[in-house]
Amino acid sequence: MGIFDLITGTPGLSGFGSASTAEQVTDGIDASNLTVIITGGAGGIGLETARVLALRKAHVIIAARNMEAANEAKQLILKEDKTARVDVLKLDLSSVASIKAFAHNFTALDLPLNILINNAGIMFCPYQLSEDGIEMQFATNHIGHFLLTNLLLDKMKNTAKATGIEGRIVNLSSIAHNYTYSGGIRFDNISDRTGYSDKKAYGQSKLANILHANELSRRLREEGVNITANSVHPGLIMTNLFKHSAIIMRVLKFFSFFLWKNVPQGAATTCYVALHPSLKGVSGKYFLDCNEMPPSKLARDEVLACKLWDFGNKLIYSVSKI
């Protein structure tokens, strides 16, 4: 798919393209036997994803830091469909303690888990550290989802084995994964202020999302587990993610209006990868506009993916001891 397809919304091999909406790509799909966790489901494309999955009758768990917004999102979904199954749970992805508490609280509900959508994220924020001393964009966008996925993986494996239904893990990345630090990941100084760039730090975290999905996919295949892991670029959508660079992004949008999507279009690729039957068994891939696309060379680096996996485990272990 090229720039012409992006501008015109011309469908790709999947039958969908940049103009497709989340409702369109899930039309006719019955998800009534599925339980889904979506991080950051209280607003933006996360909320639209939660709404459409609930519309398709999935049991949706909205994991969010802002519980007031999460409950408002739940009521918005219920207003549209009184029979929707929606629950909310507190989750702060920048906090190891909060992630562990979320996993414990979800497990206590004794629910199955078929789909995990790692959607939440922050973007272009000024240099700051999480409560665990990790650079905030890396902590929230990657480490948080890496730990959350690992803590929920046994539940997903058990669900897939007991039901015979393929589990799916979807990481929201970005085309920004192309713009990162030299070598991709600053392993030796991941949380240093020196050399920090808000744009490159974001790109680094989005590269990490793809590498995580790829390495997870490899490990699941090796283990023979009926779970897939893929990453997606939702497209350019003006949401609260741009709050740290609102003016410059609005200027950019003015000059590149033809590249931007609305929220229903922005949630389409996530919903497609999470639900569409044509992707059964497809794993370790990167999707743009509901079509498989090759990510950057760094994102396809298997050695880098394995190194990041080990680095993430060591980092989490080190902060858990504090």
CB-based contact 40:92 (threshold 8 Å): no
Tell me which amino acid residue 234 is.
P
Q: Can 179 be counted among the known catalytic residues?
A: no
Question: Is residue 231 helix, strand or coil?
Answer: strand
Catalytic residue among 127, 179, 181, 196: 196
Tokens, residue 102? 């979320």
CB-based contact 145:39 (threshold 8 Å): yes
What whole-number distance in Å separates Cα of residue 159 and Cα of residue 153? 10
What whole-number distance in Å separates Cα of residue 168 and Cα of residue 273? 8
Measured in residues, the chain has a length of 322
What whole-number distance in Å separates Cα of residue 4 and Cα of residue 78? 38
Give the residue from 54, 53, 55, 277 showing the smallest Cα distance to 165.
277
What whole-number distance in Å separates Cα of residue 193 and Cα of residue 26? 43
What whole-number distance in Å separates Cα of residue 2 and Cα of residue 289? 11
Tell me which amino acid residue 209 is.
N
What whole-number distance in Å separates Cα of residue 116 and Cα of residue 102? 13
Tell me which amino acid residue 40 is.
G
Which residues are designated catalytic? 196
